[in-house]
């Protein structure tokens, strides 16, 4: 949908793949940074970076990496804005079934005036998260017929299409017992509660409570403003894997995943705190191995 030099706008923090995907398609990624520094963009933040080259906007809510769920009002405003300016709007709903605290998934088509074949509203989703089927690489797109047909043409030449066993596994998931989604959602909500409570107990770490997904994106800049260095430090010293916020367009943050067990989550935060807090005990045992704190 984009010609060379066309721009695709998305808010920060963003999924790491968006800038690269846009570049691979020959376009120019343009990031809309929420002015108030939060993870919740406003329509003004988006409108401000849209110009004559803008062709499409991507929204991902619930958001990877922040876990923030964008408000209904914001989604409605962006749908209206895109219709008015004739822009494509790609809604990445990958995590829309994994939302907490009684929220319900947002269907962006509710806010669209144009539901004809000239609609430029596209919803993408996949089996990866809601069915815990990461790695199967099965997703889908909802959009106007011509566009979806073109996507299928491109994909059939680029990859010859997704592997057949993956496709059948996805059919099984979609037609199978759906209670697994609710069980996963409840587990993740509980994991989120435990993780957020423990992170809030670390002085200086600023936490935005995730409303969905299985990620949390705390601000660790009180300890190290360079997220790549901090992530490497935590990996080297206490064997905790995090993803540097820089890759998501927000330096000073780390993305933590809470889709593991409660035991792993508790131990992960305990190790992070031990590594960061200068007042920590001198020693920590990991899997029977004694670690000695030899850094300031
Ligand atoms: C925001 C977002 N969109 C899309 C995907 C794609 O998932 P998959 O390639 O597993 O279908 C992911 C996976 O991490 C994601 O986080």
Strand boundaries in the chain, DSSP class E: 7-11, 28-32, 54-60, 88-92, 121-126, 139-142, 215-216, 243-244, 254-257, 283-286, 289-292
pLDDT mean for each 10 residues of the chain (296 residues): 96 98 97 97 98 98 98 98 98 98 97 97 98 96 97 93 96 97 98 98 97 98 98 96 98 97 96 94 90 88
**pLDDT at position 66:** 98
Distance 274 CA to ligand 1 centre (A): 32
- Residue length, the chain? 296
| HEC secondary structure over 5-54 | CCEEEEECCCCCHHHHHHHHCCCEEEEECCCCCCCCCCHHHHHHHCCCCE
Q: Which protein residue's CA is at the shortest distance from atom 8 of ligand 1?
A: 137
**Assigned CATH for 7-175:** 3.40.640.10
Q: Which atom of ligand 1 is nearest to the CA of 128?
A: 10
Distance 131 CA to ligand 1 centre (A): 13
Distance 43 CA to ligand 1 centre (A): 24
**Assigned CATH for 179-292:** 3.90.1150.10
Positions of CATH 3.90.1150.10 in the chain: 179-292
Q: Are 189 and 100 in contact (CB under 8 A)?
A: yes
Q: Which atom of ligand 1 is nearest to the CA of 63?
A: 1
Cα(65)–Cα(6) distance, integer angstroms? 26
Mutate to test the pocket of ligand 1, among 18, 66, 126 (most ligand atoms within 8 A of CB): 126
Q: Which atom of ligand 1 is nearest to the CA of 133?
A: 10
Positions of CATH 3.40.640.10 in the chain: 7-175
Distance 276 CA to ligand 1 centre (A): 31
Distance 114 CA to ligand 1 centre (A): 27
**pLDDT at position 181:** 97
Distance 20 CA to ligand 1 centre (A): 14
């Amino acid at each position: 949908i984009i010609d060379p030099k066309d721009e695709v706008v998305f808010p920060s923090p963003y999924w790491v793949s968006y800038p690269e995907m846009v570049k691979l398609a020959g376009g120019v990624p343009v990031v809309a940074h929420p002015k108030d520094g939060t993870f919740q963009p406003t329509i003004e933040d988006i409108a401000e970076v849209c110009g004559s080259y803008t062709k499409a906007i991507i929204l991902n809510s619930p958001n990877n990496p922040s876990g923030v769920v964008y408000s209904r009002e914001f989604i409605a405003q962006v749908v209206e804005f895109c219709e008015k300016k004739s822009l494509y709007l790609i809604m990445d709903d990958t995590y829309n079934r994994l939302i907490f605290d009684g929220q319900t998934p947002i269907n962006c088509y509710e806010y669209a005036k144009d539901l004809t074949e000239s609609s430029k509203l596209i919803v993408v989703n996949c089996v990866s998260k809601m069915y815990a089927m990461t790695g199967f690489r099965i997703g889908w797109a909802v959009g106007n017929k011509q566009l979806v047909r073109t996507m299928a043409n491109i994909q059939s030449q680029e990859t010859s299409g997704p592997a057949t066993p993956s496709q059948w596994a996805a059919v099984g998931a979609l037609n199978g017992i759906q209670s697994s989604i609710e069980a996963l959602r409840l587990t993740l909500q509980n994991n989120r509660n435990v993780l957020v409570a423990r992170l809030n107990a670390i002085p200086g770490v600023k936490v935005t409570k995730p409303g969905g997904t299985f990620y949390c994106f705390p601000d660790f800049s009180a300890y190290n403003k360079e997220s790549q260095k901090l992530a490497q430090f935590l990996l080297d010293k206490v064997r905790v894997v995090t993803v540097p916020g820089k890759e998501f367009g927000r330096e000073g943050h780390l993305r933590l995943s809470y889709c593991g067990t409660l035991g792993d989550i508790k131990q992960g935060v305990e190790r992070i705190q031990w590594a960061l807090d200068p007042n920590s005990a001198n020693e920590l045992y990991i899997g029977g191995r004694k670690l000695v704190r030899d850094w300031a």
